[in-house]
Amino acid sequence: MLYHLLYSLKDISIIFNVFKYITFRMICGALTAFILVYIFMPYFIRFMKQKQFGQIVREEGPSHHKAKTGTPTMGGVIIVTSIMVSALLWCNLTNYLVWIVLFVLLSFGFMGFLDDFLKIKRKKNLGLRAREKFLAQITIVCIFYLVLFKYLNFSTTLNFPFFKKLIVDIGSLYLIFSMLVIIGSSNAMNLTDGLDGLAIVPFIVVAGVYSILSYVAGHIKFSSYLYLPYVPYAGELAILCAILVGAGLGFLWYNSYPAEIFMGDVGSLALGATLGAIAIIIKQEFLLVIAGGLFVLEALSVILQVAYFKITKGKRIFKMAPLHHHFELKGWPENKVVVRFWIISIIFGLIALSTLKIR
């Protein structure tokens, strides 16, 4: 809205011409999202405390996590709202790619909201049933797929990092692949969100990486030079990614140790799914595995733990899954686990960016 209003004034003064540049609006969007979260989160924290809507810590988690019980949760409500408002202000609202990504953000956010609300209402770490949650996620991805690949005729080809000309068209199988990417990304971030500030910094790193990738994908000269798929109008997603970064930084202000609020499923499920949707649209799906390597490791630790436990009838690979709990039980202080995992996520992000030239 603000973009359309200000850019329309370019004929009055040349200064308003600056709003046509994606890079400028990336900065505006990131700052707007940060400020909105920074300003409104304290009011939300106060409201949640008054209503006694606090985190329900799972019984099987580390014993010292019991102290986190009662900490306000569902901070994702402010994150998602701030992202929406910032996108409406600074993105080109005639761009259909922006609306598709916002649909995924809101849909997964609403599902996460219901999950969090039920946990608070029941006073147990039991929200939506796994079957209900999975069916909802599948339905959202099916709508995403139909709009993008059936109605808008998006390409169903897969492009592989490190290879210039390795392109595979998987046709209708892309629906299953979309589910793996979006649902996998969503749940991987949800599993990582277990310590103060642990999930949000890796999310910021991945969103930052994809802001660059989106800008390149939407620029025909840059994409051609770097042998990346050119996706018309994808440049606007760079603004959306920058907004994700800004909102993430705003949340980190209150989520850093000791956390004043947790994002809840409304935040983790929505933000993870949004990254997956953007990765699919700009045809950089496999790079999400590298950029979001920390999320992948956390998810794999759970999968391996459960599988090994069932196969060996009670034995475990890790002291506890997800992976961050394993290191906690090894004696690492929470802060040390979090900061070291941040470092790992930054390294993964740098590796992902390096693939732009390694082809």
335 occurs within a structural domain:
no
200 occurs within a structural domain:
yes
pLDDT at 237: 97
358 occurs within a structural domain:
no
Residue pair 262/71 in contact by the 8 Å Cβ criterion: yes
First to last CA, the chain: 39
To the question of whether residue 193 is assigned a binding role by annotation, the answer is no
Q: Which domain holds residue 45?
A: 2-286
246 occurs within a structural domain:
yes
User: Virtual CA dihedral for 121, 125, 128, 133, nearest 10 degrees?
Assistant: 150
pLDDT at 164: 73
pLDDT at 358: 73
CA distance 34 to 16: 23
Residue pair 196/255 in contact by the 8 Å Cβ criterion: yes
H runs (alpha helix) in 51-148: 76-90, 96-122, 130-145
To the question of whether residue 190 is assigned a binding role by annotation, the answer is yes
CA distance 129 to 21: 45
DSSP-assigned letter for residue 8: T
353 occurs within a structural domain:
no
122 occurs within a structural domain:
yes
pLDDT at 11: 65
93 occurs within a structural domain:
yes
| CB proximity list for 81: less than 8 A, separation 6 or greater | 36, 40
Residue pair 282/234 in contact by the 8 Å Cβ criterion: yes
Residue pair 105/186 in contact by the 8 Å Cβ criterion: no
Q: What is the number of structural domains in the chain?
A: 1
352 occurs within a structural domain:
no
320's enclosing H/E stretch is none
pLDDT at 12: 79
Six-digit token string for 139: 């339905």
In tens digits, the chain (359 residues) has pLDDT values of: 776 677 566 667 777 778 788 999 999 999 999 999 999 999 999 999 888 776 666 655 565 555 566 789 899 999 999 999 999 999 999 999 999 999 999 999 999 999 998 888 877 777 788 899 999 999 999 999 999 998 898 989 998 887 777 888 999 999 999 999 999 999 999 999 989 999 999 999 999 999 999 999 999 999 988 888 999 999 999 999 999 999 999 999 999 988 999 999 999 999 999 999 999 999 999 999 999 999 999 999 999 999 988 898 888 998 888 999 899 889 899 999 999 999 999 999 999 999 887 76
